[in-house]
Amino acid sequence: MPDSTQLSTLASHHHSLTTPHVPARTPLDVHASLRASPGRALAVGLCLGAALLMAGAAHAWDGIVEKQVFEMEEYTTRSGETIADLAVGWEAYGTLNEARDNAILITHFFSGTSHAAGRYEEEGPAGYWDSIIGPGKPLDTDQYYIIASDTLVNLNAHDPKVTTTGPASPHPETGEPWGLDFPVVTIGDFVDVQKALLESQGIERLHAVMGASMGALQAYEWASTYPERVERLIPVIGAGEADPWLLATLAAWAAPIRVDANWNGGDYYDGEPPLDGLREALKLVTLNANHWQWANETFDRSWADEEADPARDLDARYAIEQTLDDIAAARAEVADANHLLYLVRANQTFMAGYGESLEAGLAAIEAPTLMLYSEDDLVFAPQSVRRTAELIAADGTPVELIPLTGTRGHLDGVVAIDQAGDRLRAFLAH
């Protein structure tokens, strides 16, 4: 069994892609340190406002962050549906200057949250990109105002540190959970809610927008749909559309929930939730977000129980199987199955700009672009990332494509982000 006191999140809680009692997240990501068997330490990565901040009102960031809530009385989705009483959580690091032109937006990954940096309390876990966000770090909070928000239909709907509106939220007219009556939402809707949050703080233009995995999709959408508002674009481990490989991968993540009898067509809030399906789904997310190099270097063929031989007992397990199960079980405690299905669909339907073609959507991007990716990514095919870079650059937009190295595959975009620290610093200063 994993040591729950070692569980640390890369994504914030309820992430996606965490305190000791709250499971780690994954993006299409997340990071956790667990034990696969007695005496064996393992590093396991999981893929992973109402209050208006007036200029000068915030103090220099001391590393402790406060979660806040942004509310809208009504939001109309891009498909024309209405969501009343919408709310999302957000947090910020640094100070918004008088001109309100030093804001950097961080957009989170599939199973992540807005907890990108800092801690909610001195002994709490740091945000997933704490290595690059803070005083004197590449995303320097002495210079920039860095803001991040929970998305709509956030996976971690039951995490007390997350505020999100989705199927698990009460319908304003009935007081009962929306369930599958909740409108299908897109990455574009996530962006439009973020736009409203920024406008509530008087921010009309971003110094940069940066995000990993599903966060990269949001960053592309920002720069494509609102090019006049984005000065710099930094997509990490993500491409300009959901290609067929990603469509199928996402469908595989959703499948275990749909075959769990407790899912009941999405109507389970008055009964037993489909936890078996949710756990299996989260196990797939974790596995796909990593890489075989990590698995083979971290684990051997050890049994989960030294007394239970898998060759003699169908219920016996290997250490890697048990570890993935334990991670998924912990994360499922704060996740919601319907929210995962809505996130899957939002990612599947993504194409930058949502227009007639990917070429047109990426051609609309005018911001200089710094793309970080992994050649060993098993979620976003490296070829799709390179094609995205080529299409953005086709009309002369400056694009730089930098690989991150490591053994984590997709998750290197979270756990190895500090490799790009010097380039990020220079790019933001240019």
Q: Active-site residues: which are they?
A: 213, 377, 410
The rounded distance, in Å, linking the Cα atoms of 331 and 155 is 10
Residue 355 has what DSSP assignment? S
Q: Enter the tokens of residue 123.
A: 């002994």
Measured CA to CA in angstroms, residue 231 lies from 12, 103, 234 at distances of: 27, 10, 10
Residue 184 has what DSSP assignment? P
Q: Enter the tokens of residue 19.
A: 């305190």
Contact 139, 146 (CB under 8 A): yes
Q: Which residues pair with 70 in a beta bridge?
A: 88
SS3 call for 373: strand
The rounded distance, in Å, linking the Cα atoms of 264 and 272 is 10
User: Which own/partner pairs from 397-401 qualify as long-range (CB within 8 Å, at least 24 positions apart)?
Assistant: 397/365, 397/366, 397/367, 397/368, 397/369, 398/368, 398/369, 399/368, 399/369, 399/371, 400/369, 400/370, 400/371, 400/427, 401/371, 401/373
Q: Enter the tokens of residue 351.
A: 């194409």
Cα–Cα nearest to 113, from 151, 66, 58, 59: 151
Contact 401, 389 (CB under 8 A): yes
The rounded distance, in Å, linking the Cα atoms of 78 and 12 is 27
Q: Enter the tokens of residue 362.
A: 């990426």
Q: Enter the tokens of residue 407.
A: 């053994």
Q: Write the single-letter amino acid at 366.
A: E
